[in-house]
Copies of this chain bind each other. A is one copy, B any other.
Amino acid sequence: MQQATLNVKGMSCNHCVQAVEGAVRELGAEGKVHLAAGTATVTYDETKVTREQLAAAIEEQGYDVV
């Protein structure tokens, strides 16, 4: 398992938290958003999904991964 902390811009409320955590969950990963810090810490199986795919899924929700 791999863990990465992504900097995510644009998350402002609990709905945003759910959108981001849900997006990575759909890829089989587990995400934990820290709203005040603007980060999402994601634990994932690096043999099944890449960090780039996780970032893309978050961006599809309308946020910027920087």
Contacts and interface: CB of A to CB of B under 8 A. Distances in A.
Interface of A: 10, 12-16, 19, 62
Contacts of A13: 10, 12-13, 15-16
A16 to B, nearest CB: 6
A63 to B, nearest CB: 10
Contacts of A62: 14
A44 to B, nearest CB: 24
Contacts of A10: 13
A10 B12 CA distance: 10
Nearest to A61: B15
A10, A13, A14, A16: which has the most chain B beta carbons within 10 Å? Answer: A13
